Structure 1
Amino acid sequence: MKVIKYLLIGSLFLVATACSNGATEEQIEVADAEKTAMQLYQNNCMSCHGNDLSGRVGPGLQQVGSKMTEEKLIEIITVGSNGMPGYENVLSIEEIGQLAKWLSEKKE
């Protein structure tokens, strides 16, 4: 929980800093998209995949972008896989895409 809290605070700081430093619209949109994806993760994924993406009931996602493409993540989030339920009736197509994009960037 602390990690997500710090990530959200950090994202808000980045957005505020970007706005005060004359950031481009694109930079602000990227920061907003990351914040949205983290909120989606917190609300829908954290209970199984852990507050720091390290895994709990579900597998760890800290390096998922090294193992799966954004398209594969969209598929898994949408229809589910290996005991994970699908979220096609919970999240919009846009939200699934935002979450998959964010996860695909996790390549520690």
Structure 2
Amino acid sequence: MKKGIAALFLGLLFVLGACGNAGDTSDTEENLEAGEEVYRNNCANCHGNDLSGNGGPELADIGSKYSPEQIEDIVHEGIGSMPPQTQVEGEDLQELSSWLSEQ
């Protein structure tokens, strides 16, 4: 009897696992994750891991101030005392600006 219950429980686990959406990530979620990685590798030193500022301005609400395109321009051209960040280009720049616009 106990083996039957254990087998039923194990079978239920497999069925529920197969029904989950862990492998069903959208392109947007993947881009946001990639954008956060670009941020951590290039921006976090000045703006903090949590966007709270670390010598540079706080970016916690950057998405309510600027569009992704404007954020791309700011990163690429610089603003105020922030110099242009020419090492972030192409897809990395798009992913970063998309992720920041959601913050």
- TM-score normalised by structure 1 residue count: 0.70
1:85 paired with 2:83, answer yes
Among candidates 5, 18, 22, match of residue 18 of structure 1: 22
4+ runs of 1 displaced by more than 4 Å? none
C-alpha deviation, 1:104, in angstroms = 0.8
Residue 18 of structure 1 deviates from its aligned partner by 2.4
Gaps of 5+ in 1: 1-16
CA shift, 1:92, in A, is 2.1
Of the candidates 59, 62, 71, which is equivalent to residue 60 of structure 2?
62
Pair 1:105 & 2:102 matched: yes
Partner of 1:36: 34
CA root-mean-square deviation: 1.7
Question: Secondary structure, in 3 states, of the residue corresponding to 1:84?
Answer: coil
Structure 1 residues 2-30: Cα deviation after superposition (integer angstroms, max 9, x where no partner): xxxxxxxxxxxxxxx521xxx2xxx3422
1:36-62 Cα deviation digits (max 9, x unpaired): 111101110000001100112111111
Deviation, structure 1 residue 83: 1.3
Q: Which has the larger radius of gyration?
A: 2
Three-state SS of the structure 2 residue aligned to 1:87 is: coil
Greater relative CO, 1 or 2 (CA 8 Å, sep 6+)? 2
2:47 aligned partner: 49
Percent of residue pairs identical: 36
Unaligned 5+ residue runs, structure 2?
1-20
SS of 1:41's partner is helix
Code of the aligned partner of 2:44: M
